[in-house]
């Protein structure tokens, strides 16, 4: 009985939403801000932070001073949106350098992508018809929303692509599912496949899928299973989830939990009864979500650009390296400076964007 309860508890930690941590503000003077030490706050690049009530956002510069004792970094406040941070005691820091879609392009439009469970809201940047018929579909990660995938839009806009930043079931914007539980891509891929169909119906003749974290695995599954694979010209993956068994074990380590907890979580998610009690419609098929067992990606027939950092302690880079080796020469890996999970863009946005531009010119 204790093992069954433990497996359910551990499974819940993997697939159910959690509130992001609130990071204390150590100092601020209206021009600079120093935050308590956290994986993202000490990262070398720019930061995006929100007030804890999400009514205000600020973009912070690269570190201008690092405390030699605590490691806390002080940064300039580069831009702000919404309510002031004056008097605030803590912030939410998830890497989102754009406050919202209007910060990328005020002419964006909200569209509805018809999906299997209902309409999935999406932000569209650019017209239905562009001279080359080129579209990019941007897919966010687990426990985040569309805003998390905005960072890859500017690069594609500069290349003349129309961008669709999509939602999917259970993410808080897409169709609701029980407990907002994530299937780790096992069902979410169908909503991204629906976005491919939407783009095709609105003038797309070539489509690049761009997936962040969980969104990387979702994009791969959508590419593998869509009926419009003929339109796919490439994938860009940023710190992708390519093997959930490894990711869950790593997550337990990050939380300071014994490996047994990860094993219990895997058992629970594979179990028909436990997965149902967690809120999932079916057990998780970890083999179907494993992209490092065989060269599945190479069979997609399109090139893949993969950004990852050796500093990622959430989804280890060695899995991405195995994925690239297994699917050579289709996959190009770009290792960024050591940084926290899914902040590869933040390290150097100009290099991130120019790398995509170079890769597009070589492969599209």
214 and 349 share one domain:
yes
Instruction: Quickly tell me which residue has 């909200």 as its tokens.
Output: 110
Q: In what order do the strands lie in the sheet with 304-309?
A: 109-115, 118-125, 162-166, 134-139, 206-212, 232-238, 304-309, 331-336
Angstrom distance (rounded) from CA 17 to CA 139: 17
85 and 164 share one domain:
no
User: Considering the domain boundaries, does residue 13 fall inside one?
Assistant: no
220 and 77 share one domain:
no
Total tally of structural domains belonging to the chain: 2
Query: Which residue segment(s) compose the domain that 175 sits in?
Result: 101-243+289-363
Residue ranges in 19-105 assigned as alpha helix (H):
101-104
Cβ partners under 8 Å of residue 280, min gap 6: 15, 181, 183, 269
237 and 353 share one domain:
yes
Angstrom distance (rounded) from CA 181 to CA 280: 6
User: Considering the domain boundaries, does residue 263 fall inside one?
Assistant: no
Q: Around Cβ 97, how many Cβ atoms within 10 Å? A: 23
Q: Around Cβ 222, how many Cβ atoms within 10 Å? A: 29
User: Considering the domain boundaries, does residue 251 fall inside one?
Assistant: no
113 and 229 share one domain:
yes
Digit-by-digit pLDDT tens for the chain (364 residues) are 334 455 667 778 888 988 999 999 999 999 999 999 999 999 999 999 999 999 999 999 999 999 999 999 999 999 999 999 999 999 999 889 999 999 999 999 999 999 999 999 999 999 998 999 999 999 999 999 999 999 999 999 999 999 999 999 999 999 999 999 999 999 999 999 999 999 999 999 999 999 999 999 999 999 999 999 999 999 999 999 999 999 888 877 777 777 787 888 888 899 998 899 888 999 999 999 999 999 999 999 999 999 999 999 999 999 999 999 999 999 999 999 999 999 999 999 999 999 999 999 999 7
Q: What is the CATH number of the domain that holds 71?
A: 2.40.10
User: Considering the domain boundaries, does residue 117 fall inside one?
Assistant: yes
């Amino acid at each position: 009985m204790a093992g069954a309860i433990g497996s359910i508890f551990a499974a819940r930690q993997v697939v159910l939403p959690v509130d992001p941590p609130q990071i204390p503000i150590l100092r601020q003077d209206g021009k600079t801000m120093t935050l308590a030490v956290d994986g993202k706050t000490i990262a070398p690049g720019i930061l995006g932070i929100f007030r804890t009530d999400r009514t205000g956002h600020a973009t912070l510069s690269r570190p201008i001073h690092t405390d030699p004792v605590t490691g806390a970094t002080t940064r300039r406040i580069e831009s702000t949106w919404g309510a002031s941070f004056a008097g605030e005691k803590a912030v939410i820091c998830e890497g989102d350098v754009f406050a919202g879609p209007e910060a990328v392009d005020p002419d964006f439009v909200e569209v509805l992508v018809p999906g299997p469970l209902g309409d999935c809201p999406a932000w569209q940047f650019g017209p239905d018809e562009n001279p080359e018929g080129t579209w990019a579909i941007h897919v966010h990660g687990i426990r985040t929303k569309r805003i998390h995938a905005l960072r890859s839009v500017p690069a594609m806009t500069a290349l003349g692509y129309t961008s669709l930043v999509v939602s999917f079931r259970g993410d808080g914007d897409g169709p609701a599912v029980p407990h907002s539980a994530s299937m780790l891509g096992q069902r979410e891929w169908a909503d991204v496949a629906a976005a491919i169909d939407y783009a095709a119906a609105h003038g797309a003749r070539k489509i690049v899928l761009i997936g962040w974290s969980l969104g990387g695995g979702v994009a791969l599954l959508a590419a593998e299973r869509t009926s419009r694979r003929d339109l796919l010209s490439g994938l860009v993956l940023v710190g992708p989830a390519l093997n959930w068994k490894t990711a869950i074990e790593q997550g337990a380590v990050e939380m300071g939990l014994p490996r047994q907890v990860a094993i219990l979580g895997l058992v629970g998610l594979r179990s028909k009864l436990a997965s149902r009690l967690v809120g999932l419609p079916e057990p998780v098929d970890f083999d179907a979500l494993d992209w490092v067992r065989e060269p599945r990606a190479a069979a997609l027939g399109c090139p893949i650009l993969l950004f990852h950092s050796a500093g990622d302690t959430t989804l280890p880079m060695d899995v991405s390296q195995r994925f690239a080796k297994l699917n050579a020469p289709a996959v190009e890996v770009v290792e960024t400076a050591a940084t926290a999970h899914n902040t590869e863009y933040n390290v150097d946005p100009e290099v991130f964007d120019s790398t995509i531009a170079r890769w597009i010119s070589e492969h599209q």
